[in-house]
Amino acid sequence: MRVHAFALFASCLVSGCAGASQPWVEVGGHRYAVEISDDDAERARGLMFRDAMADGHGMLFIHDAEEPQAYWMKNTKIPLDILYFDDERKLVAQQRDVPTCSLGDACPSYPSDAPARYVLELNAGEAERLGLKDGAEMRFSPDIPQAK
């Protein structure tokens, strides 16, 4: 019985259970399954300490207000593209191919240089592969909260 329950659980993890849906964003004509970070603790942890992020996946940070943002790579082991979007979900700034950093609090920050509400982190090289330019629009799956 345990083996059957484990197989059912594993199947649920791989294929998704009925009623469960993976949030997604679409940018540059490509859809990415995303984890949502929408509170201070989740935003602070981000992708720290992870060894990899699957292709076609990313992390979407949702801030309380549209304002200049700055991200850093403290304890982040995955090179990333950091994409900043405004309230209307238009790309306002990009930090591409941001390297990993193991310098703790001495890691540099990567600013948006423009007010942003949403920050999308993808594996490094995705923005170039998609040919993203400022002004590109990001679409959300229905289960992602919209700006207030």
Asked, for residue 6, whether it belongs to a domain, the answer is no
Q: What is the pLDDT of residue 17?
A: 47
Asked, for residue 91, whether it belongs to a domain, the answer is yes
Q: What is the pLDDT of residue 20?
A: 59
The two tokens of residue 59 are: 């992390």
Q: How many domains does one find in the chain? A: 1
Q: Which domain holds residue 106?
A: 21-140
Mean pLDDT in each 10-residue stretch from start to end of the chain (148 residues)?
38 45 95 94 89 96 96 94 98 98 94 97 98 97 79
Of 120, 119, 45, nearest in space to 75 by CA? 45
Asked, for residue 8, whether it belongs to a domain, the answer is no
Asked, for residue 93, whether it belongs to a domain, the answer is yes
Residue 105: CB atoms within 10 A of its CB come to 6
Q: What is the pLDDT of residue 52?
A: 95
Q: What predicted TM-score, i.e. pTM, was given to this entire model?
A: 0.84
Task: Say which CATH number the domain at 79 has.
Answer: 2.60.120.1140
Q: What is the pLDDT of residue 4?
A: 39
The two tokens of residue 37 are: 């970070």
Q: What is the pLDDT of residue 133?
A: 97
Q: What is the pLDDT of residue 63?
A: 95
